Structure 1
Amino acid sequence: MTAAPGDDTRLFVVEQRGRIRVIENGTLLDTPFLDISSLIPSMSQADEWGLLGLVFHPEHATNRRFFVFYMQTGGRSIVAEYATSANNPNLAEAAPTQTVLSIEGPVAHHFGGMMAFGRDGYLYVSSGDRGDEARAQNLSSRNGKMLRLDVDNPASAPPGNMPGADSLVWSYGLRNVWRFSFDRCTGDLYMGDVGGAYEEVNIEPHNTGHRNYGWPVADTGTNCSTGTCPVFAVDHNFSDCSMVGGYVYRGSAIPNMNGRYLFGDWCTNRITTLVWTGGTSVEQVEDLRQNLDTANTLVAMSSFGEDNQGNVYVVDLAGALYRIDAE
């Protein structure tokens, strides 16, 4: 779920089977914003296939550009550019403008699929290891990486990417960053990585990059002899199994939540908050489940979303969307 920059009346919700829906002033519109279901492989092939990401260009209000991440028949990951209709802001043009990124690799699982624009104006894209863990340490592969590209010139890499690697690599050693986000106040990059034995939160200070997060060499939460340690890790012995990265809360509805990073887990539906204090240090780690009305109604937490006011939303794969508000 996301919102277009400057648009305070609508939310856009991605459906894995290929549609993007519009919620306008709290009402779900009948007509999809975009429907690319014909491009999506049969969902029986793998439960991680489908339409996985949506991001609007920072200047969408004037240029109408937006981008989607989906799995193509055959297993290729595609980031394609589309345009909002000039005549109806609740509809997109049916045909893509261009393909800005293609990612090859084994057809298994761990595709990543999150996109966000950084303060530098470049598009950041998470790419999973696709089930072949060695690819995360292979700098010539785009799998198991955080990628960074210039949507205005996708054929050329932006300056500042990782030297000695594929031209689009920003950081590496990641298993499957299903969801990541930038803190809208600091520009710091928060990544929720679906680990092997541990679920991880990794944080990059604004505009640093070039980091090795260790997978698959390091996956213990503490042994970081190869790579950068996570700021937070959860052992699977605590029933957590699949990290869902979220957002740093910057809304006004809950003042005491300001600056807290919210993230979750697919298996337990646990929602946790923490405050990053620099390096690998965090404080005020808190399980929010007992404070939320949705504690017993969430079926399968799949994502978080953020609107232009900094409010944070929880997306349930069962078809529900919740906003985190004060009592």
Structure 2
Amino acid sequence: MTDIADLPFAMYDAFTDVPYSGSQAAIVLNAGQLSTENRMRIARQIGVPATSFVDRIEGTTVSLQFFSTVMELPMCGHGTLCLITRLVDLDLLPCDSDDWHNATLDLPKGKATVKYRRNTNGRIEVMLDVATATFAPAALDMDRLATLLGITPDDYSSSLPAEVASADFIHLCLPLRDLDAMNRLQPDFAGLAAFCIENGLETVAAFSTDVIAVDRHLHVRDFCPAVGVSESAAAGTTNAALAAYLFRNNLVKPEGADLFEIRAEQGLKLGRPSQITSRIMVSDGDITRLQVGGIATRVIEGKLSLPSPDSGPLSQQ
């Protein structure tokens, strides 16, 4: 009979206070003995857009890796919201007041800073520091892209440029004319994945400044078939790139001295509505800090069963 080892496991929905909306991410604790191959297998089995594997927690430094169902991710905004909320829920990170607390993510490609606090509703608000993207004109076959997206070139914005934003991921920032154009999007995901791979893109972030909720600045649909997710219900790194795009195109007004806040709606077409907040701090007209975040909601928790080391290939290093 096979011996079974258990690892603590949970699933949260990010960028929402309502279960079964937002973007899904899983958290696996005590994962230090799992090989990269086995993390990939587990992520595929779980099947959500991102799974974080926590190797260790030392004070407020969390060593981990993120995986999608097809690859390791260098960073994951929505996965970070779920991770930090989970660790606070388990008292593995301190959150003893409504003041901002600091944590550090120690990832294979570098460290990232996270701020979190308990808001006035008692929910954990998480803001992740992300790299500010660099931008370049989109030198792409835009007619072919329109066909792959199920729209026509007339649906592109006539006043805003399509640009490629490069940071932790490479995003095509694709402004559309209005909500009608957004609603007509019907991507050919296989074709779009090939297009992204051919052109060195990881996501196609279609957006409109025409919105449904009056307190939002952006309506977003983010297509990511090249990295294992046909469409993301909520994407932190994508929204951070779009916030920087809006800032550099003078499309947002400051909330206070040298502070801009960009609020996006996403996931509505998927039936998983999400609210994503990006904050930009500037000095002398340049971005000095870029954060993205929101809250996350637990939907599942339990244990992940694994064979013991001498029982089968899943736990071999």
- TM-score class, shorter-chain normalisation, is under 0.3
* Greater RCO, CA 8 A, separation 6+: 2
State TM-score, norm by structure 2.
0.26
State TM-score, norm by structure 1.
0.25
